[in-house]
A and B are shown apart, each in its own frame.
Chain A
Amino acid sequence: MTASGRTTPWLLSAPALALFAALLLTPLAMTFLLSFNSFSFYGGIENTFGPENYIEVLSDLYFYEIFGRTFLIAFITTAICAVLGLPEAYILFRMKPAWRSFMLLVVLGPLLISVVVRTLGWAILLGNKGVINEFLRDIGLITSPIRMMYTSTGIVVALVHVMIPFMILAVWAALQRQDPATERAAESLGAAPLTVFMRIVLPQAMPGVLSGSLIVFSLSASAFATPAVLGGRRIKVVSTTVYDEFLNTLNWPLGAAIAMLLLVSVLTIMIAWNKLVERRYSGVFE
């Protein structure tokens, strides 16, 4: 690979590049253009070009509510994932190898199981006549069922279940990069376990928590199956709104505009978050 050194990598990448140019870049560009077209109930998509769809979305409080709800759900889900995922990853990290590989299967395995199946599980658990409500009624804690289906709370609980393996993986990767000698040094100098965790482990695991938060937030903000099943028609989020515009109302241009706004806001938040993290940890990664 000397004479052809310059073209070889491009030749090797060409097939994949062709697929991505045709089936990723082109469709995204076409959707962007579609969002400027207009739609009429009788004529369908019309080949006009203007910002009407964006004006419609940005001037309607209904859409603000949906975007606000979506990002609030994503934010709370991320916070819970961080608070629960960090200690769990640390506990896994300290386990004996045999136990650990079993527990990793239990904790990370659900990641590979269909989101539809996991959401079905939550629908069975959270319903008014669901497993949790029946159990609480049987032990006499409640008389009337607590409403968890078709609420934002129910969506958050199920989303935490879907997303927390990503947080654990990110923290896990960070913990594996740390030098175990630092913990032992702190212990040998007489630090209490909590002090070791707060002063030694936490700072080293933090980059993992931050990168995990980024993944969890962006996936939660665009989650579809969980809010669609557990939120139903009542609790709409951005992705279910886009789905309705495209497949029920058939107003594709408006749906495309909402999708583009979701893409832009998720990317903006991700870039801002990355900048923030880089500035905070600029010294650590050098």
Chain B
Amino acid sequence: MNRNGLFALCFNALFALFMMGPLIVVIGVSFTPTGYLEFPPSAISFRWFRAILDNPDFIDAAWISLELGLASASLSTVLAVPAALAIGRERFRGRDALQALFLSPLTVPTVVLGVAFLRFLSLFDINGTFVGLVLCHAVIVTPFVLRLVLASVTGVDRSIEMAATSLGASHWTVFRRVTLPLILPGVVGGWVLAFITSFDELTVTVFIVNPSTTTLPVRLFSHITQTTDPLVASISTMVILLTVLLMLAVNRLYGLDRLLIGGEAR
């Protein structure tokens, strides 16, 4: 039911241009054959994509970000799923406080989280370690997993679980064979959102990396604050490509609006 008038459609087109503009420019610049930022590029060249291969520090950083995203998203999912089962279906004292605590990393300014983690990790002399990064990122991404799993937990019909229990299934079997398959879209959606959040995180991470654990966003950031050259554009283009592929997959699976609102809509 498209009832938008001409004015509305023009507004929409301009808005789409505004949203896509910076991304188009980054992608365009990365194909330049020249040594400076040029848009639109005078010719199409893969020179700056080949240049990525000559910069092992960026490739190392990309691997660290990938491993960090996988580890922290998985850790937070393992912790958030049981917590969501408790918060989503039990009534107990302290439930609201618990939920508020698990969602609080969304409210505390990220720069405050960054300095708090730096202070904590450096007192225990584990600042800059990969383990420290994983633990801190797990805290930051848990709210995203929790919200999506909570939304799917509240939709589960408990009579199916009771049927399984009455037929003699143990708690663990009920969870594995009945509950988990029912909440799986929320769990997978939450994991993907957590992975992307961790992979892109800058503000907290910039405080808690050392030169050997520098992540891709931190490496890109420190490069951009010194100079913007086509190399950062070509690396950014690769980041955009990876994100878009993940996004299309999750859009198929879960719906992008539902993923981002936290499962309440639709």
Contacts and interface: CB of A to CB of B under 8 A. Distances in A.
B52 interface: no
Interface string B82-107: 11011100101001001001101101
A112 B221 contact: no
B213 interface: no
Given A31-B112, A256-B119, A124 B228 contact: yes
Interface string B139-157: 1001000000000000000
Contacts of B22: 118, 120-122, 124-125, 158, 161
Most buried by A among B111, B139, B256: B111
Interface residues of B, number: 88
A127 B18 CA distance: 17
A221 B93 CA distance: 34
A112 to B, nearest CB: 5
A246 B115 contact: yes
Given A8-B90, A13-B83, A87-B11, A30 B200 contact: no
A161 B18 contact: yes
A13 B29 CA distance: 48
B204 to A, nearest CB: 9
Contacts of B142: 16, 19-20
Interface string B42-59: 000000000000000000
Given A8-B90, A125-B25, A225-B203, A24 B139 contact: yes
A30 B123 contact: yes
Contacts of B101: 17, 20, 24-25
Contacts of A243: 111, 206-207
A104 B142 CA distance: 25
B109 A9 contact: no
Contacts of A91: 4, 8-9, 11-12
Given A115-B202, A116-B217, A246 B224 contact: no
Contacts of A266: 109
Contact of B120 (A15, A26, A262): A26
A41 interface: no
A120 B23 CA distance: 9
Interface in A100-145: 101, 103-125, 127, 131
Contacts, number: 268
B64 interface: no
Determine the main DSSP class of A at the interface with B.
Answer: helix
A88 B102 CA distance: 32
B16 A28 contact: no
Contact of B217 (A12, A25, A114): A114
Contacts of A165: 260
Given A9-B95, A31-B115, A124-B22, 9 more contacts: A24-B101, A28-B108, A121-B21, A124-B228, A124-B233, A172-B257, A229-B224, A259-B109, A259-B115
23 contacts: A13-B82, A16-B79, A23-B117, A24-B101, A27-B117, A30-B120, A31-B119, A103-B12, A103-B16, A114-B200, A114-B220, A117-B239, A123-B224, A124-B37, A124-B233, A176-B265, A222-B109, A222-B110, A228-B225, A246-B207, A252-B119, A262-B112, A263-B112
Interface of B: 1-5, 8-9, 11-12, 15-16, 18-23, 25-26, 29, 37, 39, 78-80, 82-83, 85-87, 90, 92, 95, 98, 101-102, 104-105, 107-113, 115-120, 123, 135-136, 138-139, 142, 196, 199-200, 202-203, 206-207, 217, 220-221, 224-225, 228, 232-233, 236, 239-240, 243-244, 246-248, 251, 256-257, 260-261, 264-266
- Which 9 A-B residue pairs are closest in the complex by CB-CB distance? A121-B22, A222-B109, A9-B86, A27-B116, A27-B120, A12-B86, A239-B111, A12-B82, A16-B79
